[in-house]
Structure 1
Amino acid sequence: MRGAALHAARRAAATGPRHRPPPRGWDAWSARTSEPAAGRHPLADRTVSQALHRRADEIEAAFGAIAPTLQELAPRQFAPEFAAHAAATLHARLQLDIPAAALVASWTAPLDLRALHAHCVLGTFCRLIERAFDRGLSHLVDGEPADALIRRWGFHAIDITPCADGRLSGVTDYILRVPPSIVAFRESYAGAMFDVAQSVRHWESVELQRWRTGTPNAAEAPTRFLKIGVYHFSSIAPRHEGCAAHGSDDVRAAGALLERLNQFDQAMRTLHGARCAVATLLIGVDTDTDAIRVHVPDATGRMDILRHADSAILYDATAHLPREHAKDAIRDAVAACAGVPADDAETEGMRWFCGYLLKNNIGQVEAVRDWHRGRYADAGHTERLIVVGDPVDDVQLRNLAFQAQMRTVEEGAADLDVGIRILHAHHAPHRLPVPILAHIRFDPRIPGAAVTAEQQARRLAAAILARHAALAARGGLSVAAVVRAADGSALTPIDLTASHGDASPEVHP
């Protein structure tokens, strides 16, 4: 077996960003129905895949019910008692509470169905946030808690920055399949171009907690903070459906993100010394298949955009091996990518973590092949809304939301503009506005934090409308704001009518 595994490892340790041909057996896959096959790969966790698929179906069904419901109600809007009937229908079918007074229509003032559609999208998203999906599906790895494993591999906290592109909306739960227990921070930026100073503050908050409380482990423990940057590319339309922030150039996207990771590492060394060095990892995602490239660091910690282990190649190379032999092949591939022996002790922790991500992603590669015939039908953008402010991880699904983290529009203007440009191009042909949710978290233990969060949410919403005033004036934007306690309690919607004079209905999830 070792010869076969080593051959697979060498094939999987790619030496250049390339656009793969369709998977082997593509013609046979194309002829299949969307029903999943009985599992094939020994490392694919089908229990997790099925649970994630059911979750995706529930989310898709919730949003899919909006347009048919409004289409059914629209012709009846001038009938007697319509407002009460519409409010009851929206509650029964969409589980949204919209006051009947906001649904009153007359022949001189018909309902603004465009605005109502946007409010239903925003309200449905907020309702699903409070749905409390089980996000700990991948908590155990071969019977051991994932957080215990990553500490054994030499890491005590993980900070993930994916691109804000909605096709990475499921990066942690679906693509990487890592449980929330091992992710200390997750913020999205256009092109994954994170703020280095903000990442330094993330590190400082984790280290202060380690010194004060010994969590997640003691400050003197020999573990590191791991920063992961996630870029993306398209294998179907590489020049058109890659990262918009980098002109659909995956080499440019990977290179810019690697440079930013190196800047973070240098900032940590300069500010806190070599003893506080962090670990960094670069990952690429093919948004057409959800397969990943892991740019495994070498013995010095250096990464190269031309050197990576590819989960799609590994899937094909190991699908027919026994489970333990498939694991060995992945470990060999990672070691070959790092340029070290498979038993190298110095690089073992990072290599095993990279293998963990590749193994997890094999389950997603198989799920896409099972339920989507190998590749998603929508290579481009079909996001339903934009989320600005603090990240929302509670509801994850590919192409669900473009997420742009910012405290002010000034600092996140570029990300916001990219998101609005993308969603406006998708929504405009249907004469629908772009729904935007300003989402701000606060610590309820801090006096006055809730009031400050509400003020910030109002300012963010107002600044968005001011920056894109022309589009808003044409009914092309619909902005809502919510605040939420950091303990994960219910969302509190903010009434923006007083600050913007917007008479559109307030949606309460």
Structure 2
Amino acid sequence: MNSTKKNYRQKSLFWKPIPSNPLWQQQKPTAHGSTVVADTMDEIGRQDRVDTTLAMTGTHVLVNEAQNELLRRYEMDIKARFDDIEAVLKDILTQQGKPGFVAWANQTLFAKLGVKLTEDDWQSELNFQSQKAFQKLYAKILFAQFIRMSEDFYINDPLMGQRKQEAERIFKEAGFHAVGIAPCADGRLAHVVSYVLRLPYDAVRRKAHAGSLFDISESVRNWVFIEHTRFREGKPNAAEEPTRYLKIAVYHFSKADPTHQGCAAHGSDDQKAAEAALTKLKDFRQAIENRFGCGASVQTLLIGMNTDDDSLKIHIPNEQGKVCLQRFVETDQLYQQTADLSADQAKQAIEHAIDDCNLNRSSTAPQPGVNTLIAWLIANNFSQLAYVNRYENGCYSDIGHAERFIGVGNGFEEVQLRNLSYYSFLDTVEEGVNDVDVGIKIFKGLNVKKGRPIPIIIRCDYDGRVPGSKDRAQAKAVRIEKALHNRYQELSASGLLQTMPTLRDFTGCQPAERLPSLADFSA
């Protein structure tokens, strides 16, 4: 290791412990997801470990167990709200002849699921025994749960994703003023920011596309906006500061069932998924170079994610920032190799492994800032590996799709949970048709075969500072909703396609606003 790099690491402030939060010390989850009071974190017992795919034992020194407790409580609570809808609704509908049914139904619904429907929602369905009535009510309850989740997410910040100062400091010290993440739209990657990488959602930009095939033109426009803001306002830092934009693409694979549970957009071919994501990164950087002559101001990073256990394959850039598919480190292996080391030893071992990855393949080590940033992300992922090991026995039981709804449009920062939503970023259905078709195919298996509708939530964000922005966003949301029902007419006519258009002012922490849907007008 050269002396310059060594001195840089000695000065690095990246390896600060995450501050504890009093909320983490108040409750702990039981085996069924409920909570009991705990006076201190020392009183929170660890579940017995079993043999797992990672063969982990004990607690890694770099794992944040307190954070894992918080994230588990949140995951169990939110998913239960969606998963219990069918059983609760069917139970309610068996009592439709009960005197004062609507009032009783709403009281029961609120007691069990925490939401209510309007009286019109209940009474508009005259025949509660019909399958179509069940489908509409199921969707309305699910949509109400989403609005509730959105309100809680932005107002109460349960994942502390609005506390972004520390992450922004780390990014800046590494030489980056903004970070964009392009994961696959697969719901098994929906938690990549808050859980897998342990980043505050408000510190990065996440736009998902099937197969990680992000829109290069849209990404360039976003880059231009960021650089313009730096020049005009000095935000997030002054334009003369030698920082760069970091673009991360996340593809995925399954080690447990590679030929069936990989990326559907690439036919579960891991090599194709990685190559396609890397090509997008190269094209993005080349586009900026060709148009603005400053490609060096962009750093790209390619990450592969094993959706079985959330372990990562991080492809290490060389000194020039170039990424190669053959140069990578795997976080599950590093976890095991550093399990018995002290904190300082583990950090050093991670950084050495990053450098050696390239040097052992006749390449150059990454720049010091890039090395330290990747090392920080790896340490963050260690906590997620321990999370999956403790709560999922080292491998998810739902290694395939298990999403609860489809989200299309833009935004959806409040969706930070694995397999909660299949999400596709789009401006028009025509432009995002491939992503939506994949989502519809997935939900035909998840929902339609079981008599449940396919719920689609449409999101169009707007800038509350710009005159007419909200009106244009609303018109766009209505247009997308109509296009969805036109494209999937058979599903729509049978009541198996249910939609809810929403808006959100992205300039603050306001929750989603529900718009009237086509179903409201046709009721």
Structure 1 position 43, deviation (Å): 0.8
Q: Unpaired segments of 5 or more residues in structure 2?
A: 1-47
Cα deviations by residue, 1:159-210 (Å, 9 ceiling, x for unpaired): 1000000000100000011123531x21100001001111101111111111
Deviation at 1:137, TM superposition (A): 6.4
> Are 2:497 and 1:473 aligned?
no
Quickly say closer, same or farther: Cα 1:375–1:107, change in 2 above 3 A: closer
Measure, in 2, the Cα distance between the counterparts of 1:102 and 1:275. Answer: 54
Q: Residue type matched to 2:281 in 1? A: L
Structure 1 residue aligned with 2:304, among 259, 277, 284? 284
| Equivalent in 84, 88, 98 of residue 65 of structure 1 | 84
Deviation of 1:63 (Å): 1.6
Note the C-alpha offset of 1:39.
5.2
Question: Of 72, 78, 88, which aligns to 1:53?
Answer: 72
Match of 1:415 in 2: 435
Query: How much identity, in percent, do the aligned residues show?
Result: 36
- 1:158 lines up with 2:179 in the alignment: yes
In structure 2, how many angstroms separate the alpha carbons of the residues matched to 1:68 and 1:339?
A: 57
Cα distance 1:129–1:38, how it changes in 2: closer, same or farther (>3 A)?
farther
Equivalent of residue 512 in structure 2, options 491, 494, 501: 491
Alignment check: 8 A CA contact 2:196 2:384 kept: yes
Assess, with a 3 A threshold, how the Cα gap between structure 1 residues 325 and 386 changes in structure 2: closer, same or farther. Answer: same
Displacement after TM superposition at 1:279 (Å): 0.5
User: Which of the numbers 313, 317, 321 marks the counterpart of 1:301?
Assistant: 321
Q: Does 1:84 align with 2:103?
A: yes
Amino acid at match of 1:41: H
Give distance in 2, aligned partners of 1:297 and 1:345: 8
Letter paired with 1:369: N
Residue aligning to 2:158? 134
Map 1:429-444 to 2 at 5 A. Answer: 429-444=449-464
Counterpart in 1 of 2:189? 168
The one-character-per-residue Cα deviations of 1:112-148 (angstroms, maximum 9, x if unpaired) are 11221122122212210110233336968xxx92211
Q: Separation in 2 of the partners of 1:345 and 1:377?
A: 38
Are residue 393 (structure 1) and residue 429 (structure 2) matched? no
Coordinate RMSD, CA, aligned: 2.3
Partner of 1:96: 115
Counterpart of 2:255 (choices 235, 253, 258) is: 235
Question: For the residues of structure 2 that align with 1:158 and 1:475, how far apart are their CA atoms?
Answer: 41
Residues 444-502 of structure 1 show CA distances to partners (whole Å, capped at 9, x for unaligned) of 1111111111111100011011011112122221111111111232322111238x843
Cα distance change of structure 1 residues 314 and 276 upon mapping to structure 2, 3 Å threshold: closer
| Secondary structure at the counterpart of residue 459 of structure 2 | strand
Per chain length, whose mean CA-contact separation is higher, i.e. which structure has more relative contact order (CA < 8 Å, sep 6+)? 1
User: Aligned pair in 2 of structure 1 residues 108, 399: CA closer, same or farther (>3 Å)?
Assistant: closer
Between 1:111-120 and 1:296-305, the stretch displaced more is 111-120
Query: Secondary structure in 1 aligned to 2:283?
Result: helix
- Structure 1 CA distance for aligned equivalents of residues 389 and 366 of structure 2: 36
Q: Does the 8 Å CA contact 1:48/1:138 hold for their aligned counterparts?
A: no
Distance 1:194 1:102 in 2: 38
Displacement, 1:364?
A: 0.3
- Name the aligned partner's letter for residue 188 of structure 2: R
| SS at 2:465 equivalent | coil
**C-alpha distance in structure 1 between counterparts of 2:288 and 2:228, whole Å:** 15
Q: How does 1:358-373 map to 2 (within 5 A)?
A: 358-373=378-393
In the superposition, relative to structure 1, how do residues 107 and 480 fare at CA in structure 2: closer, same or farther (>3 Å)? closer
Q: CA separation of 1:294/1:100 partners in 2, compared to 1, >3 Å: closer, same or farther?
A: same
How far off its partner does 1:426 sit?
1.1
1:318 and 1:86 map into 2 onto residues whose CA distance is 55
Structure 2 counterpart of 1:375: 395
In structure 1, the residue matched to 2:166 is 145
1:345 is displaced (CA, Å) by: 8.9
